[in-house]
Amino acid sequence: MRDRVVVVDDHEAVRETLRDLIEGHPRFEVVGEAESMSQALRVVHEQQPNLVLVDLILGPGPHGIQLTKGIKAQLPLCPVLILSGRHESLFAEQALLAGAAGYLMKDDAVDILFDAMEVATAGKIWLSGSMLRYLLPTSIVPTATLGDLHDAVDRALVAELQRGNRSVIGLARALSVAPPRIEERLVAIQHKLGLPSRAALYLFVG
- Contact positions toward another protein, by CB under 8 A? 11, 13-14, 16-18, 20-21, 24, 57, 85-87, 89, 106-107, 109-110, 129-130, 133-135, 137
- Contact criterion met (CB below 8 Å) for 96 and 103: yes
Listed residue (104, 110, 205) closest to 154, CA to CA:
205
- Using the minimum distance from each CB to another protein, give the nearer residue, 110 or 144: 110
- Using the minimum distance from each CB to another protein, give the nearer residue, 61 or 180: 61
Beta carbon of residue 99, minimum distance to another protein (angstroms, whole number): 22
Q: Name the residue type at position 125.
A: I
Residues 6+ apart with CB under 8 A from 78: 44, 48, 49, 50, 51, 52, 71, 72
Cα 201 to chain centroid distance, Å, stands at 14
Listed residue (16, 21, 28, 11) closest to 117, CA to CA:
28
Q: How far apart are CA 35 and CA 23, in angstroms?
A: 19
- Using the minimum distance from each CB to another protein, give the nearer residue, 16 or 184: 16
Angle formed at CA 160 by CA 52 and CA 134, multiple of 5 degrees: 70
- Using the minimum distance from each CB to another protein, give the nearer residue, 14 or 146: 14
Beta carbon of residue 51, minimum distance to another protein (angstroms, whole number): 17
Beta carbon of residue 178, minimum distance to another protein (angstroms, whole number): 33
Beta carbon of residue 41, minimum distance to another protein (angstroms, whole number): 22
- Using the minimum distance from each CB to another protein, give the nearer residue, 129 or 147: 129
Beta carbon of residue 55, minimum distance to another protein (angstroms, whole number): 9
